Amino acid sequence: MEMIELGRTGTQVSKLALGAMQMGGVTSEADSIRILDRYREAGGAFLDTADCYEWWRHVGSRGGESEELLGRWLRAGNHRDQVFLATKGSAVPAYSPDLWDADGNPDWELARKTFEGAGADTLRHALDGSLRRLGTDHVDLYYVHVDDLGTPLEETLEALSGLVTAGKVRYLGWSNVRTWRLERIRQLCERHGWVAPVALQQQHSYLRPKAGNTSASIVGAEQQDYLATHPDLQLVAYSPILKGIYDDPAKRSGHWMMDNYEGPDVDARLAVLAEVAAELGTTPNRTVLAWLLHQNDPSVIPLIGPRTVEQFEDLIPAVDVKLDASQLARLDAAGA
């Protein structure tokens, strides 16, 4: 697997990252270990998790299952020095029995209203909990998981900078955040001498958000332009294949993931995607990942989160899919 510089840090990471959100939850421990082992065998070394994963899977959970599983895997195989390890804080909701209904389904509206946020003490305690579960004295990348508009940025940034100074974190990142906030964050860091974020984790795929989309979590045209002119801020793209909808027309019909994309632009891009995938003798899902891996303005690190070993094995060949200039141009130009 190819390596790529993370922003302008000088640190090399694998060009395809592996998300562990479902590990310790819907994905069994045995299958999780197999996926992690296969990823390392393929040359992968960029692992991503969060302290909230996956509280919503079990009534009464406070999250941390994914970090605990990764900690066991890291210790068992002495893998810690072989991987670039990222985790996140700020998105654990305040505990309430109302977070789940009688059937065990999570109440996401309530959760979003009660995220613990990015206060200084909250982040310090959250990171210490993550380090304990992961069984390490530091993480390589620490994200603010959900941008917290209720806490002064100065408080958050000073605390995060202190975590780097203390040696508990090497680099900082932000996720689910609007472009104007990124610029404000960067200005404050420059003004006060605080450590600035080097990574932005957002939802990003081949389909473009529909007109009128208001999500702070999806890369739009403005944010893409911002990233292209600030190459020191690395884009890490989560949900790059949108839950696998590219391979299955029946699956994407009515799928909630399509709510932010539906429109005439989708049909036009899917048609060209299918043509190019057929030319390459591969799947649309892999072709999307390959297209993202070819991007350099801005550069993109796709973050896959396979639920099963079979899904991982289906996606990993994407690292060897090569798109020529003509195919890239057609994919880029496609649209209503």
Which residue in the list 53, 171, 226, 238 is annotated as catalytic?
Answer: 53
| pLDDT at residue 262, rounded to an integer | 87
| Model pLDDT for residues 223-236, shown as the tens digit of each residue | 999 999 999 999 99
Phi/psi of residue 211, each to 5°? -60, 135
Q: What is the pTM (predicted TM-score) of this model? A: 0.96
Separation of alpha carbons 277 and 41, rounded Å? 26
| pLDDT at residue 254, rounded to an integer | 86
Stretches where the chain sits below pLDDT 70 are none
| pLDDT at residue 136, rounded to an integer | 98
Question: What residue ranges in the chain does DSSP mark as E strands?
Answer: 3-5, 12-14, 17-19, 46-48, 84-89, 139-144, 169-175, 199-203, 234-238, 300-304
Catalytic annotation present for 143: no
Three-state SS annotation for 154-208: HHHHHHHHHHHHCCCEEEEEEECCCHHHHHHHHHHHHHHCCCCCCEEEEECCCCC
Domains of the chain plus CATH, in order, are 3-244+288-323 (3.20.20.100)
